[in-house]
Structure 1
Amino acid sequence: MSRPSKCRRVEFIPEITYFKPAGVPLVNLEEVSLAVEELEAIRLKDLEYLEQEQCAQRMQVSRPTFHRVLTSARHKVAQALVQGKAIRVEGGNYVHVGKGRGKGCRLRGKTEE
């Protein structure tokens, strides 16, 4: 039995959480679900151009864990772009620490006490 996942620290919660190809009706689209911490990994590495060690420190995870989260996120985004799928950003295993202290761990979109 594996141990439970540690909460990943995220500094950014997106206001827009759904992206779809233009000109394709929503009913005809498959979806890819991108966890909030996966979006944070892409933001830190690909938008802020941080080194993996810095990204891992900011998310308070090990470097190998950060690499796994980033690889999963990039795979999902590539799959959506190449196969014409919609991307929904939702859920995950994270604590938001944007302004002030973080409040509780979020697991698949629900707050844990």
Structure 2
Amino acid sequence: MPRPTKVRLVAADPTTKSFGPRDMNATGSVCITVEEFEAIRLSDYKGMDQESAAAMMGVSRHTYGRLLARARSTIARALVNGEELRIEGGNFQFCGHGRKRCRRGQGGGGRCR
């Protein structure tokens, strides 16, 4: 029996929940979780190193690396195949400036299909 997934800390809910090709109909859809989106935001948008970003999310550096790799792979698949990219689900808490302002995300658990 696997260990339960640890809740990941996320700064804010993504403002946009889906992206897709404009010049053609999407050939399908893929999904990343909110915490995978947060990993992309921290590493690729904010330019943080994995150690610092992992600490902000409350996970180990190895877990953070897996989240980041899975998100990048899914995003690449969407771009190459012309698929819609959706951001939903996961196991996370929204946290502002400090852990005192956390609220549980409506993740619903699991990954979308």
TM-score when scaled to structure 1? 0.87
Q: Deviations over 1:82-105 (max 9, x none)?
A: 111110111111001136611135
User: Structure 1's 22 and 107: CA in aligned 2 closer, same or farther, altered over 3 A?
Assistant: closer
Q: Deviations over 1:54-112 (max 9, x none)?
A: 01000000000000000000000000001111101111110011366111354436xxx
Contact 1:95 1:102 survives alignment (8 Å):
yes
Structure 2 equivalent of residue 88 of structure 1: 86
Structure 2 equivalent of residue 74 of structure 1: 72
Structure 1 equivalent of residue 53 of structure 2: 55
What number of residue pairs does the alignment pair up? 107
Q: Aligned with 1:82: secondary structure?
A: helix
Contact 1:7 1:105 survives alignment (8 Å):
no
Task: State the shift of 1:15 in Å.
Answer: 1.7
Partner Cα separation in structure 1 for residue 58 and residue 96 of structure 2: 14
Gaps of 5+ in 1: none
Structure 2 equivalent of residue 16 of structure 1: 16
Identity %: 41
Contact 2:27 2:81 survives alignment (8 Å):
no
List structure 1 segments (4+ residues) > 6 angstroms apart after TM superposition.
none
Contact 1:41 1:66 survives alignment (8 Å):
yes
TM-score when scaled to structure 2? 0.87
Gaps of 5+ in 2: none
**Greater Cα offset, 93-102 or 51-60:** 93-102
Task: State the shift of 1:13 in Å.
Answer: 1.1
Partner Cα separation in structure 2 for residue 58 and residue 22 of structure 1: 34
Structure 2 equivalent of residue 7 of structure 1: 7
Root mean square deviation of aligned Cα: 1.6
